[in-house]
């Protein structure tokens, strides 16, 4: 589906691109011909990531030590990317913060900190990016990384759930408003894709992983490559009519509340089928 030229007309900013899923997406985009800008708070991490991208053959990479919470610094960065790499036309809002805590214990500052990174950070980047493209009469697209719990909420991640729900609303709002400027706005909701950053904060005990994986219908975690492929499709010229869409990529995990789903765990499939046939009228 993809070739080395798929993203050759793209200059892409991946926020939080110094590690984890952000770096995995940036790597895939670079392999498919894009110019890559990454930003984050930690210069050393970004430097290492940029070196890694270059080692893997990326021809045009730049990094910017910028906190997405800083509106003015984000604006300067957008202008600099346009100067350094040229023709910025894709923004991936990936930078995030999260931790596990009982909601009654979350301090106001902790709540603000996550909302500032996730929601305000996405606003800061999207507005500067949008204004840049509108002023240059340039087409482009935004891809927001949300979560499957934007729609359901989730215990113990209150600030993240609230902030990501806001990003989901922002996606649809901007998709409608900015279609007139040929700026598409979409999101991806990843389920379980382990990264050092997320799992060190969100998986309390490795022993709980077995139970967790049992609840994923696909029976496994997602591979970074799978997410990167979906992100590539969403930002590429293969999807010019898709806007305001949120694609879940979670091995079916979000559907676990289905009323009779528990039966899948009651025994091997042939045993279940035998049991179902015994329940047929007349048996």
> Rg of the chain over CA atoms, in angstroms?
21
Binding piece for ligand HXC, criterion CB under 6 A, among 22-30, 99-107, 240-248, 261-269: 99-107
Could you say whether residue 110 binds ligand HXC (CB under 6 A)?
yes
67: its two tokens: 């906190």
Binding piece for ligand HXC, criterion CB under 6 A, among 82-90, 101-109, 219-227, 274-282: 101-109
Q: Which residue is nearest to ligand HXC (CB)?
A: 97
Residue placing its CB nearer to ligand HXC in the complex, 59 or 155: 155
Binding piece for ligand HXC, criterion CB under 6 A, among 6-14, 47-55, 94-102, 175-183: 94-102
Could you say whether residue 124 binds ligand HXC (CB under 6 A)?
no
Q: What is the spatial distance between Cα 60 and Cα 37, in angstroms, rounded to a whole number?
A: 8
Question: Would you tell me how many other CB atoms lie within 10 Å of the CB of residue 247?
Answer: 15
Could you say whether residue 114 binds ligand HXC (CB under 6 A)?
yes
Could you say whether residue 94 binds ligand HXC (CB under 6 A)?
no
The Cα-based distances of 98 to 60, 106, 160, 162 in angstroms read: 31, 12, 6, 11
Q: What is the spatial distance between Cα 252 and Cα 165, in angstroms, rounded to a whole number?
A: 20
# chain residues binding ligand HXC, by CB under 6 A: 17
Residue placing its CB nearer to ligand HXC in the complex, 96 or 175: 96
Closest distance between ligand HXC and the C-beta of residue 19, in Å? Answer: 9
Could you say whether residue 65 binds ligand HXC (CB under 6 A)?
no
Residue placing its CB nearer to ligand HXC in the complex, 73 or 101: 101
Binding mask 170-209 for ligand HXC (x = CB under 6 A): ----------------------x----xx--xx-------
Q: Which of 97, 130, 222, 251 binds ligand HXC (CB under 6 A)?
A: 97
Closest CA to 9 of 31, 30, 28, 35: 35
Q: Which of 3, 107, 180, 277 binds ligand HXC (CB under 6 A)?
A: 107
113, 163 contact by CB (below 8 A): no
Residue placing its CB nearer to ligand HXC in the complex, 110 or 249: 110
Closest distance between ligand HXC and the C-beta of residue 51, in Å? Answer: 21
Closest distance between ligand HXC and the C-beta of residue 274, in Å? Answer: 37
Would you please indicate which residues are annotated as catalytic (active-site) residues?
149
Touching ligand HXC, residues 151-170 (CB under 6 A): 160
234, 143 contact by CB (below 8 A): yes
280-281-283 Cα angle (round to 5): 75
Touching ligand HXC, residues 128-147 (CB under 6 A): 147
- Strand pairing report for 90-93 and 11-15: parallel
Query: Which residues lie near ligand HXC (CB under 6 A)?
Result: 96-99, 101, 107, 109-110, 113-114, 147, 160, 192, 197-198, 201-202
């Amino acid at each position: 589906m993809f070739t080395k030229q798929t993203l050759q007309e793209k200059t892409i900013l991946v926020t939080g691109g110094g590690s984890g899923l952000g770096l995995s997406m940036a790597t895939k985009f670079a392999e498919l011909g894009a110019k890559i800008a990454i930003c984050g708070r930690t210069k050393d991490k970004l430097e290492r990531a940029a070196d890694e991208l270059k080692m893997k053959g990326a021809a045009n990479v730049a990094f910017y030590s910028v906190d997405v919470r800083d509106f003015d610094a984000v604006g300067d960065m957008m202008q600099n990317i346009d100067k350094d790499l040229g023709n910025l036309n894709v923004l991936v809002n990936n930078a995030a913060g999260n931790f596990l805590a009982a909601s009654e214990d979350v301090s106001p500052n902790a709540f603000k900190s996550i909302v500032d990174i996730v929601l305000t950070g996405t606003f800061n980047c999207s507005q500067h990016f949008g204004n840049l493209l509108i002023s240059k009469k340039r087409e482009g697209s935004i891809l927001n990384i949300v979560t499957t719990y934007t729609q359901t909420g989730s215990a113990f991640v209150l600030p993240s759930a609230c902030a990501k729900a806001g990003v989901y609303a922002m996606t649809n709002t901007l998709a409608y408003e900015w279609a007139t400027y040929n700026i598409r706005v979409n999101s991806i909701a990843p389920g379980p894709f382990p990264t050092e950053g997320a799992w060190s904060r969100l998986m309390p005990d490795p022993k709980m992983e077995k139970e967790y994986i049992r609840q994923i219908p696909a029976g496994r975690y997602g591979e970074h490559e799978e997410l990167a492929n979906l992100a590539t499709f969403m930002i590429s010229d293969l999807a010019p009519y898709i806007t305001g869409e949120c694609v879940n990529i979670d091995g079916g995990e979000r559907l676990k509340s289905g009323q009779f789903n528990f039966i899948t765990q009651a025994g091997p499939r042939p045993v279940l089928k035998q049991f179902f046939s015994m329940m047929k009228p007349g048996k």
